[in-house]
Amino acid sequence: MTAAAHGSREWSTTPTEAHEHGWSVESRHATSAGYVLYVRCADCGTQRVDLQEGDTLPPRSLSVEVSPSKAPSRG
């Protein structure tokens, strides 16, 4: 007998380091320092603020990653 977890995602205590965020830009604002990007991970909902100083430059993180699950949610 094999208990294969196929198709079911287990929401266990996965360390944040192991999770690779898939950032998607929610909004983008032009400032004097460059573009401020508000990004969110579509997978876990973690939010972050990035700063892109130029169109050809890669954005760098401006804020720490903010996890959405600070409070226990009952659903």
Give dist(CA 1, CA 43) in Å, integer: 32
Binding of residue 21 to Zn ion (CB under 5 A) = yes
Cβ nearer to Zn ion, comparing 26 with 53: 26
- Range 26-45, binding Zn ion (CB under 5 A): 41, 43-44
Cβ nearer to Zn ion, comparing 44 with 51: 44
| Long-range pairs for 57-65: beta carbons < 8 A, 24 or more residues apart | 59/35, 62/36, 65/16, 65/21
Binding residues for Zn ion, per CB under 5 A? Answer: 21, 41, 43-44, 46
